[in-house]
């Protein structure tokens, strides 16, 4: 209903429409580039439950629209709703006019556009889509389990893998279910358990499990033994493209994301671009950074769309395992032995404050400045660096850290921590909560 309404309004205003039907964010972004479109509209709850809705607008570069555009759209939409009418909707316009009757509408195969884009730019990112899928079809020792959580990726998975004649491709929760099985369908430790269970029933020595959110822009991995979130996988992808594929260049990751990638880049004498949270913040280095990723399970690579894309992440994971003949957990362990291990975690607290009042409360964290000692369990740690581009990130001498920032979308304050050993992670979480209690945001 909503898609038909949007298309009928656009057509009434002379806009030529390519209609992709159900499509993931990444494939729709590829369609924008391949069709040289002005923008795309994706109606999706993203990784949220059924009762959420979303209007995702990507601009002509195929990436997340800048605030300048989204704020303008929001203001104009509110004005139209308040007025109750607009010249953009001619009298008598049938918002539910069938697809076949919409003038100039053309069907769009978004997955085919994605495949064309990946093939076209294989020289830049080093991922040979056809070779990877051919290698999987011929690899009896590799099993892959993909959990679509009833989202848009369910319509693509078989075709993405080129319909291999094998039972080694396991597709979980691939049925249509607008309630997503009654869960919040995000890539998470709880939601990835079916993929882990499916892999552990297989005899193949090499295994890749992945869970993809409903609009296909987030992905999390497992090899059946170890869960690998984007904090780790993004760093692995950067190492793989740089050291195995021979691609040189910087890495980009948001400030709330693990510092494992920072350590790798420093060892490789490469630059790190570290903006505030939000994939649109990578725009300044799109086309320069080998990998752009954020801890909330989004990733893209050089030569691909400037939008996070689960499928490009999946292609990376398959290339790693097929090329290295190692499971993802083994590859990560090798990287950790060379560059050190990092143990990130995050959480959030609901708050009643908002606006200036909330910012004033958070400003009280400024007492935790460079040189300040903070109690972490029985140990006192000195803050060596503070980053304030998005909330407050306090980095200690051993490169462990605590970050606190207001959510941009919910009445919450989020906190992120990263320890250098597993035992310290809960201690950092406890300290972060103590800081929030100290400034009146947690009872």
Among the residue ranges 135-144, 220-229, 308-317, 402-411, the one predicted with the least confidence is: 402-411
- CATH number for the domain whose boundaries are 2-110: 3.40.120.10
Q: How many CB atoms lie within 10 A of CB 90?
A: 10
Identical fold for domains 2-110 and 343-438, yes or no, is no
List the 251-253 sheet strands across, edge first: 272-273, 251-253, 291-294, 298-301
Q: Quick one: which of 301, 305, 274 has its CA closest to 288?
A: 301
pLDDT tier for residue 55 given thresholds of 50, 70 and 90: confident
Q: What is the mean pLDDT of the chain?
A: 96
User: Please, what's the largest Cα pairwise distance for the chain?
Assistant: 72
Please work out, in degrees rounded to the nearest 5, the angle formed at the alpha carbon of residue 125 by the alpha carbons of 123 and 126.
65
pLDDT tier for residue 45 given thresholds of 50, 70 and 90: confident
Q: Quick one: which of 366, 345, 335, 365 has its CA closest to 438?
A: 365
pLDDT > 70: percent of the chain: 100
Q: Quick one: which of 118, 123, 164, 157 has its CA closest to 140?
A: 164
Q: Six-digit token pair at 387?
A: 């980053």
Domain boundaries, the chain: 2-110, 343-438
Q: Are 372 and 383 in contact (CB under 8 A)?
A: yes
Identify the pLDDT of residue 126.
Answer: 98
Bridge partners of 58? 40, 64
Is the domain 343-438 a CATH 3.30.310.50 member? yes
Q: Give this prediction's pTM.
A: 0.95
Please give the Cα distance from 90 to 183 (Å, whole number): 40
Please give the Cα distance from 348 to 413 (Å, whole number): 6
């Amino acid at each position: 209903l909503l898609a038909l309404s949007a298309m009928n309004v656009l057509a009434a205003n002379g806009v030529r429409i390519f209609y992709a039907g159900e499509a993931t964010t990444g494939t729709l972004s590829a369609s924008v580039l391949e069709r040289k479109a002005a923008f795309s509209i994706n109606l999706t709850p993203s990784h949220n439950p059924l009762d959420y809705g979303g209007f995702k607008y990507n601009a002509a570069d195929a990436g997340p629209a800048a605030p300048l555009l989204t704020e303008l759209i929001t203001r104009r939409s509110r004005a139209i709703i308040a007025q109750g009418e607009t010249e953009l909707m001619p009298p008598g316009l049938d918002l539910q006019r069938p697809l076949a009757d919409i003038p100039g509408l053309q069907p769009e195969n978004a997955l085919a556009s994605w495949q064309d884009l990946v093939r076209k730019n294989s020289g830049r990112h080093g991922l040979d889509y056809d070779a990877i899928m051919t290698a999987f079809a011929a690899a009896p020792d590799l099993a892959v389990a993909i959990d679509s959580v009833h989202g848009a990726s369910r319509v693509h998975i078989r075709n993405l893998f080129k319909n291999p004649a094998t039972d080694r491709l396991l597709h979980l929760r691939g049925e249509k279910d607008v309630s997503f099985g009654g869960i919040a369908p995000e890539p998470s430790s709880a939601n990835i358990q079916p993929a882990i269970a499916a892999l552990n029933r297989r005899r193949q020595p090499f295994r890749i499990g992945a869970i993809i959110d409903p609009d296909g822009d987030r992905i999390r991995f497992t090899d059946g033994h170890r869960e690998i979130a984007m904090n780790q996988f993004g760093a692995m992808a950067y190492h793989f493209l740089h050291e195995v594929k021979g691609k040189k260049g910087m890495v980009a990751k948001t400030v709330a994301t693990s510092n494992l990638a920072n350590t790798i880049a420093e060892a490789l004498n490469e630059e790190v671009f570290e903006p505030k949270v939000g994939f649109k913040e990578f725009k300044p280095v799109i086309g320069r950074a080998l990998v752009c990723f954020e801890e909330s399970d989004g990733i893209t690579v050089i030569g691909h769309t400037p939008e996070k894309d689960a499928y490009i992440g999946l292609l990376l994971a398959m290339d790693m395992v097929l090329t290295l003949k190692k499971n993802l957990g083994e590859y990560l362990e090798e990287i950790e032995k060379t560059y050190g291990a990092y143990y990130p975690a995050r959480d959030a607290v609901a708050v009643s404050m908002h606006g200036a009042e909330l910012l004033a409360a958070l400003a009280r964290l400024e007492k935790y400045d460079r040189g300040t000692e903070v109690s972490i369990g029985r140990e006192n740690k000195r803050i060596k660096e503070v980053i304030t581009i998005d909330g407050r990130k306090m980095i200690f001498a051993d490169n462990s850290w605590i970050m606190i920032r207001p959510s941009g979308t919910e009445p919450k304050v989020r906190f992120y921590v990263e320890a250098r050993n597993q035992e310290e992670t809960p201690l950092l979480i406890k300290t972060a909560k103590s800081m929030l209690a100290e400034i009146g945001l947690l009872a």
